[in-house]
Structure 1
Amino acid sequence: MSHHELTAFVSATAERHRIPGVVVGVWVDGQEYHAGHGVTNVEHPLPVDGHTLFQLGSVTKTYTATALLRLVADGRVDLDAPVRRYVPELVLADERAAAEVTVLNLLNHTAGLGWGVIVDTGEGDDALAGYVARMHELEQAAPLGTRASYSQAGYNLAGRVLEKVTGLTYERAVESLVLTPVGLAESFFSPNDVMTRRFAVGHNLDENGRLTVARPWKGTRGNNPGGGLVSSVADQLRWARFHLGDGGGEAGAGVLPAELLRRMQKPTVALRASTLGDALGVGWFLRDIDGVRAVGHGGSANGQFAELLLVPERNFAVIALANAGPNGIPFNQEVVRWALATYLDVHDRDPEPLPYDESRAREVVGSYEIDAMTLTIADDGPGLRLEVRIRPEIRAASDRELPPDHAPFTFGFLPGAGDEYVITGGAFDGQRGYFTRDARGEVVGVDLAGRLFTRSLAG
């Protein structure tokens, strides 16, 4: 496979999805390849290449988890210890959860916490402390330790553990524990560091279907542990090689013992009917693709999307970055699947849904919610439609421009009696999830993208 074929595929796919700028990196057979296409910004265009900085969104969580594992290796943090050992001031809506939640519960999303607190605690060094002080406002989406439910707040709290143990800000802690030892010279949290380099801005579609620059460019500092890192494809391939390796750093000194690195890639909790994976390790989603084990994480910011996937047994990695929504999601998915098929002969295919069933449709129609979003399911007969929106009161109260809501998605049930479904249209095409029932057999929740939406009383 030539570099020309990678570049041609990336360019054609980006143009088909109308994305201003994309960049892809592949590590295969001990060689590194980059393919960039388009521009950083439709208003002030500069070419995109392997050193252009993009927002990683939730791929940042792999850095937060790795930094904490370094403290575990040094005997300064115990994954099974209660978080209050390190953050004694922690208050949650559920006192039992606050007293018993462990560091591992945060890193594998089994704390039962809701998605996140919608609050801007400023850009000072106390931003993360301020965020954690507001976590008592967050709902307990599930009982502690009973299931995985993806939580931004959980990782922000994990970042506060880093601060308390090291005595540094979260950003300085990650820099000293991870970025510098691994040799990541193109990875930053602060806009002041980014603005002196070439960086991409996000784009979203306006009401007329035109791509416009997404503002604000970056989220709040209090959300940095869950999604604040900005980096290049070159650095992300270096990060991938570190996690494919034995724990050594750029200079050859040990950054993380190999056994802890491998522990991050071993299942800690199973995931059901999730496109994100079959299980969660420590900071990584794990899944079987066509008979091989893959380790990865995706991320999203305002108009920017990232997808990082490793195949350890084949010493392979692919990273895709795109600067437009909503089509950055399917672009990244197409690129990752193409790379797996082209370089490894590994094929990732979506399951086929069952024909429309009116009786099953009636059971799930209604309204569901999490702290930040609402999810509505309607029966178009014959066909089911799912729509996710940011809560209107959050839009009204925000002094920041928020990402637009996605158009409704069609979806269908999958074979079996497990209430599993697959989305069959739109930017989330191929995403899987499932419905949750109570003891009486009534549908009381729906999982989408790892998040549990609970059925509202009106639904």
Structure 2
Amino acid sequence: MFENLQERFDEAARRHGVPGAALAVWADGELTEVATGVLNRNTGVETTADSVFQVGSTTKVWTAALVMQLAEEGLVELDRPVREYLPEFAVADGSEKVITVRHLLTHTGGFDGDLFEDTGRGDDCLDRYVGYLHDAGHVHAPGALFSYCNAGYCVLGALVERMRGTTWHRAMREHLLGPLGATHWALLPEEAVLFRAAAGHVGPEGTVHRTWAMPRSNDPAGASMCLAPRELVRFGRMFIAGGLAEDGTRLLSQETVAAMRTAQVAVPGISEMLGDRWGLGFELFDWGGEVFGHDGGTLGQSTFWRVVPGAGFTIAMSANGAGFMGLLTDVALPMVAEATGLGVPDFPVPAETPEVVELAPYTGRYEGPMLAYEVTETDGALEIVTVPGALMVEVGVPGTTTRFVHHRDHSFVAAEPENGRYETLTFVMEDGRAAYLHNGRALRRA
């Protein structure tokens, strides 16, 4: 089906300056795999189909599956407060009294989500992280809005540990990776060294990032889990099969699989990558047929994963470096369209003549734990300056100044592309004035 795939993959990687990448796809009952380039430009180690990459936030679906197993066993109820199972969970505004397990699964908990505190490498790191969250700031009332929340998935990891009486890592091995039949995976750096493991490449020159492992306390949200793309395909096939592994082992019930794929909350506005709605762990996409999955990124590594159950199709691609979007648009997304017949949408681009709208309701300063956005009106467009927070400064993310033009409703798109994509953002309005700048995360007006 995928004619000249290796040649297309090699050419796209060269064109977009991707150091190394691997792709796996299940279509027509067969697994197809390709790889290109190198895992680390400093060492020149070749990328192979069984190389492992950090899959970043794709890990969240695995954590969600562990939680849903607990729900199936009657150990947790999704609509009960998290504190009933994890009494030490608290946030600064006291809303922990009403934050439920479902809120965390759907990124609607309402507290600061990008808190990547390093609480050590010990087995108590998640317990210590939950204690750190006592100072987590308020973003919105629980359940009121979707706002991507890494911290919420760290709390879910602590919940899994408490209910299983073991670490999140051991629960992942015993309840998902092992029964699934996965072979090329690593949850910790000392496991990753047993495989061909990708290094992150950053900046316009694609230099190797000197830090590989992120804090262990953030692993349930997507810090250091490594997979070969074939393992994400294997995981996707389990959902297509209604919760069954290849050998017939049941990991989840059909009812649970259906629930995870059912929309729980809408994502405000438009996005060049995020789903339109969120299920229980899954991003859900409106592509003219049922499509779900999740993407992920760490320091210089990126992963794309989609499942199309009606076509018995699933695809996963991982790469290092800044050219990932080029591989996505040139190779992976056309493969989805070719194999499934779905109308994979184009990414948003600015109109040749953008509509003129009143901009005053949007101007101001919007603040989050990772970035602040200073929004001003300039020549009929929005000029947005990003001010990096402490973590962004630490990892070398610079401040930026970007011109945004009106796209539709309260959504705007960058006038110029960066790394092959036009950034988008949406303003959430209250009483005729923007209360939040939303780019997947809700940033409150200061």
2:442 alignment partner in structure 1 = 452
The equivalent residue for 1:186 is 184
The Cα shift of 1:403 comes to: 4.8
Q: 2:290 — aligned with what? A: 293
The alpha-carbon distance between structure 1 residues 385 and 331, as it changes in their structure 2 partners (threshold 3 A), is farther
Counterpart selection for 1:434 from 426, 441, 446:
426
* Offset of residue 31 of structure 1: 1.1
Question: How far apart are 1:223 and its partner, in Å?
Answer: 0.3
In structure 2, the residue matched to 1:151 is 149
Q: How far off its partner does 1:153 sit?
A: 0.3
Q: Structure 2 counterpart of 1:412, which letter?
A: V
Deviation of 1:302 (Å): 0.3
**Structure-2 change in CA distance of 1:31 and 1:250 (3 Å):** closer
Q: What does residue 341 of structure 1 align with?
A: 337
Partner of 1:50: 49
Structure 1 residues 39 and 446, CA gap change in structure 2 (3 angstroms): same
Q: What SS does the corresponding residue of 1:34 show, helix, strand or coil?
A: strand
Looking at structure 1, the residues matched to 246 and 387 of structure 2 have their Cα atoms a distance apart, in angstroms, of: 43
Aligned to 1:90: 89
Match of 2:317 in 1: 320
Q: 1:217 aligns with which of 206, 212, 217?
A: 212
SS in 2 for 1:360: coil
Amino acid at match of 2:311: R
- Is residue 2:231 matched to residue 1:240? no
User: Could you give the per-residue CA deviations for residues 229-277 of structure 1, whole angstroms, max 9, x where no partner exists?
Assistant: 1110121111111111121124312111111011100111122223312
Q: CA deviation at 1:61?
A: 0.1
Aligned position for 2:122: 124
Listed one character per residue, the Cα deviations across residues 93-114 of structure 1 (whole Å, up to 9, x for unaligned) are 121x211111111001111122
CA RMSD of the aligned region, Å? Answer: 2.1
Q: Structure 1, residues 84-131: CA drift from partner, whole Å, max 9, x if none?
A: 111011121121x21111111100111112222242111111111111
Contact 1:294–1:310 under 8 Å retained in 2? yes
Do 1:83 and 1:101's aligned partners in 2 also have CA atoms closer than 8 Å?
A: yes
Aligned to 1:252: 248
- How far apart, CA to CA, are the structure 1 residues paired with 2:383 and 2:420? 12
Give the match's secondary structure for 1:72: helix
Question: In 2, Cα distance between the equivalents of 1:17 and 1:364?
Answer: 35
User: What is the distance in 2 between the residues matched to 1:434 and 1:151?
Assistant: 17
How far apart are the structure 2 equivalents of 1:433 and 1:34? 35
Matched residue pairs, number? Answer: 440
Deviation at 1:8, TM superposition (A): 2.0
Per-residue CA deviation, residues 310-358 of structure 1 (Å, 9 max, x unaligned), is 1111111111111113x32443354332112222233322345453456
| Partner amino acid, structure 1, of 2:49 | G
Amino acid at match of 2:443: F
Q: Which runs of 5+ in 2 are unaligned?
A: none
**In the alignment, what sits opposite 2:63?**
64
2: CA distance, partners of 1:203 / 1:273 = 31
- Give the 3 Å change call, closer, same or farther, for CA 395–25 of structure 1 in structure 2: closer
1:236 partner amino acid: L
| Alpha carbons 2:68, 2:256 under 8 Å: kept | yes
Query: Secondary structure of 1:414's partner?
Result: strand
Q: 247-256 or 348-357: which moved more? A: 348-357
Letter in 2 for 1:302: L
Q: Offset of 1:173 from its aligned partner?
A: 1.0
Shift of 1:79: 1.1
Q: What's 2:404 paired with?
A: 411
Task: Report % sequence identity.
Answer: 28
Structure 1 pair 297–2 and aligned structure 2 pair: CA distance change class (3 A): closer
In the aligned structure 2, how far is the partner of 1:258 from the partner of 1:219?
34
Measured against aligned partners, the alpha-carbon deviations of 1:398-446 in whole angstroms (never above 9, x if no partner) come to xxx515347554432223xx3122345113725543102222x122321
Give the conservation status (yes or no) of the 8 Å contact 2:200–2:320: yes
| Aligned twin of 1:168 | 166
Deviation at 1:385, TM superposition (A): 4.3
- In 1, Cα distance between the equivalents of 2:349 and 2:14? 28
Amino acid at match of 1:119: E
- Structure 1 counterpart SS, 2:294: strand
* SS of match in other structure, 1:422: strand
Cα drift, residue 216 of structure 1: 0.9
- Quote the Cα distance in structure 2 between the aligned partners of 1:280 and 1:2: 30
With normalisation by structure 2, the TM-score equals 0.93
Q: Which amino acid aligns with 2:12?
A: T
Relative distance call for 1:153 and 1:338 in structure 2 (3 A) is same
**2:10 aligned residue:** 11
Distance 1:298 1:381 in 2: 35
